Amino acid sequence: MATGQLFSRTTQALFYNYKQLPVQRMLDFDFLCGRETPSVAGIINPGSEGFQKLFFGQEEIAIPVHAAIEAACAAHPTADVFINFASFRSAAASSMAALKQPTIKVVAIIAEGVPESDTKQLIAYARANNKVVIGPATVGGIQAGAFKIGDTAGTIDNIIQCKLYRPGSVGFVSKSGGMSNEMYNTVARVTDGIYEGIAIGGDVFPGSTLSDHILRFNNIPQIKMMVVLGELGGRDEYSLVEALKQGKVNKPVVAWVSGTCARLFKSEVQFGHAGAKSGGEMESAQAKNQALMDAGAIVPTSFEALESAIKETFDKLVEEGKVSPIKEVTPPQIPEDLNSAIKSGKVRAPTHIISTISDDRGEEPCYAGVPMSSIIEQGYGVGDVISLLWFKRSLPRYCTKFIEICIMLCADHGPCVSGAHNTIVTARAGKDLVSSLVSGLLTIGPRFGGAIDDAARYFKDACDRNLTPYEFVEGMKKKGIRVPGIGHRIKSRDNRDKRVELLQKFARSNFPAVKYMEYAVTVETYTLSKANNLVLNVDGAIGSLFLDLLAGSGMFTKQEIDEIVQIGYLNGLFVLARSIGLIGHTFDQKRLKQPLYRHPWEDVLYTK
């Protein structure tokens, strides 16, 4: 492996298996370091394509999302780092696919628990093809002031405290990602900071070893000293011992192997990492520390003394003139995300939507404050749900039953009415369910099914003003307005609409009062004296009876009743009900496999 620097200020990566926080942290680090271009060139989410919106400083950017590794590498040929956030189940396969791409030079595998046999194959392929694997079970790595992998070094506050926004003179390598964060802080306190830091991962077989990176650091002129943090278990540290003995490292190395406390236990202890388990005396922390010291590394007497050892080594380099003073820079302020600023109470932000009918923020959704479980346990019906979501209150059972009857009676009126006809034609054109449904719903209006609100509005106004049927009807006639809710193309005095009769029968038996319905009936009596088909239709029946429901329930003020009629609640009943039938007509045509509809010529009057 050896060679030198892995990253630079122009390094770009491909991020596999999108995770918002680590990607945003990478971009925030880029901005902190003054990079001109984001370090994340593209995101790979198997099966997905498009763009992912993120922030680069104050600017919102769109990062391309690719469905396959090959496509991402082809689209971003300058991206040579592959950051793999796949689970342990698929990490090996996706990492191998990335290693086989000619543009990829470094693969970082974050997942723990990757099968050792798979890891060995990755290591063999990488070494044979002069590529670098960091991990598995790693947090990644960082080149100060240039590039970082995923969550390396933690939060922006920690990065600033550790002075990682600009390069120092120390190369650091560790097995532990968590301890890396601690050591970045330690190094920043007693030296000019980190130049590059790598966490190789805590698995038994890391993709690259401690000595691999130390030898690489030795070839980077900007690195003046190295710090190594090993751990008990395995024999990785002995490859570094050999490199030191053979004179391959000519820069000071401060080293410590953690786990000296293992000897205090009577039996073998498995520490946090898979590889942190002593398999004999040579794998103990004490043996490794002694071997490193004998080979020429600077090894303190304890972990607590590690900071002092690093400081003494760095100060000596300064005295010898081998380290030039680094000019401190003030990093830019990272804009705080709105959500975190709101949570911390730093800003106030207006909401974009107001909702008073439902709430899905708790353990279960609530309709008008009633939990979903209560709705089911108390045996609520569709009418009850409508009363909660439309009227924001639980109406008496006779009211919700009336709503359900209206829905059942208005669900369909055959294939010949305009709404059903439109839906049938659209379905036969091969369109989907929603398109077919909407084409039918769009016909609802003053001439088809949309007269319920108008009927309620005019009947209420006339009744409240004590107009006689004559005064009401003739007054409407003078204005050139047909009386909504009166008249039918088929039904007549001798062929009454059964739906109207059923609604009136239910209301007379269950409503406290039917003042508005009785008024509508007197209007019908007058209009029938003019023409046999000017009967009270289903729009007029529902409109007048809904007024009785609202007034008789005692749960609505006069202002609320007027508002309900004005907004269009009653037409909403027809829209909801007729949607059932229109969906049925769509399914019917699809099931019958009906061909494209073409209107017959003989049914068209062609004229000039």
- The tens digit of pLDDT for each residue in 383-404 reads 999 999 999 999 999 999 999 9
For range 75-91, the mean pLDDT: 97
Are 136 and 165 in contact, with CB atoms under 8 Å apart?
Answer: no
Quick check: 443 pLDDT over 80?
yes
Show the tokens assigned to 97. Answer: 């696919």
The per-residue pLDDT for 242 is 96
d(CA 482, CA 490): 17
Band of pLDDT at residue 274, cut at 50, 70 and 90: very low
Quick check: 505 pLDDT over 80?
yes
Q: Is the pTM value of this prediction over 0.95? A: no
Largest Cα–Cα distance in the chain?
Answer: 118
Mean pLDDT, all residues of the chain: 93
Coil, strand or helix at 172: strand
Show the tokens assigned to 589. Answer: 């045509």
Show the tokens assigned to 35. Answer: 């990079």
Looking at the annotation, which residues are catalytic?
A: 273
pLDDT digits over 518-528, tens only? 999 999 999 99
Coil, strand or helix at 311: helix
Structure-token match 């490794």, residue found? 288
For range 67-82, the mean pLDDT: 98
Are 537 and 488 in contact, with CB atoms under 8 Å apart?
Answer: yes
Residue of 373, 380, 427, 422 whose CA lies nearest to 399: 380
Residue of 499, 480, 481 whose CA lies nearest to 491: 499
Quick check: 266 pLDDT over 60?
no
Quick check: 273 pLDDT over 90?
no
pLDDT digits over 464-481, tens only? 999 999 999 999 999 999
For range 254-279, the mean pLDDT: 62
Quick check: 265 pLDDT over 80?
no
pLDDT digits over 35-70, tens only? 999 999 999 999 899 999 999 999 999 999 999 999
Distance of CA 15 to the CA centre of its chain: 17
Are 6 and 13 in contact, with CB atoms under 8 Å apart?
Answer: no
Q: Give, in order, the Cα–Cα distances in Å from 303 to each of 109, 143, 228.
A: 28, 25, 12
What does the DSSP 8-state code read for residue 430? Answer: T
pLDDT digits over 281-332, tens only? 788 899 999 999 999 999 999 999 999 999 999 999 999 999 988 888 899 9
Show the tokens assigned to 599. Answer: 């209107």
